[in-house]
Amino acid sequence: MASSTSSADDALARLKTGHEEFVKLVDEAREIRSFDRLAQANARPPMASVLTCSDSRVAPEIIFNQDLGDIYVVRQAGNVVTMSERASLEFAAAVFKCPLIVVMGHSQCRAVQSAIDAGLGKTFPGDIQELASLIAPAVAHAKETSGDRLENVTLQNVRMSVQQLLRSEVLSSLVDAGTLKIVGAYYSVESGKIRFL
């Protein structure tokens, strides 16, 4: 217990130090360049929305090398779509006029693996079981495909999340009008590269 408390304290200290460094960078940016870009980040629409996993290795701003204000990010273990994710993305598309949604799964996804394991009878505490059940249709669908099981289920889960978003009247009408595009993507943690589907 003591060690986990000290790990948490260490982590909080690192976040505070990191944020102080970030504030210094912002101050330097103000002096050197693009000050307006950061200051006015909220005044313009983000160029893209990204729905991806909460996995700590999959931070969209870093992977796509974009600044504050560029990407509207929705993160959820296993990048599944429930009401709150759909509403968040409707908000970006309809209110902010953000023209692109990328649904991005990734390799080594523990949330997708838990859904595969749940299909084999493993049980998980709390709402993790419910999360696994949201990914279960992708597990069932990918049963027929050959090759890497985790990758196949992850790809199918991305496709299903795209389909779930298209069930939103708000989003599908924007897609039909040609003002919104929704694409799937797969990020390889091993290579650092993204494959668009």
Binding region for Zn ion (CB under 5 A): 53, 55, 109, 111
Q: Least distance from C-beta 153 to Zn ion, angstroms?
A: 12
Q: Least distance from C-beta 10 to Zn ion, angstroms?
A: 24
Dist CA 76 CA 87 (whole Å): 13
Q: Least distance from C-beta 109 to Zn ion, angstroms?
A: 3
Which burial class, exposed, middle or buried, applies to 58 when counting CB atoms under 10 A from its CB (0-12, 13-18, 19+)? Answer: buried
**Nearer residue to Zn ion within complex by CB, 81 or 180:** 81
**Nearer residue to Zn ion within complex by CB, 111 or 134:** 111
Q: Least distance from C-beta 3 to Zn ion, angstroms?
A: 26
Sheet of strand 71-75, all strands in order from the earlier edge strand to the far edge: 71-75, 48-52, 100-106, 181-187, 194-196
Dist CA 73 CA 50 (whole Å): 5
**Nearer residue to Zn ion within complex by CB, 49 or 180:** 49
**Nearer residue to Zn ion within complex by CB, 93 or 118:** 118
End-to-end CA distance of the chain: 44
Q: Report DSSP state, residue 57.
A: T
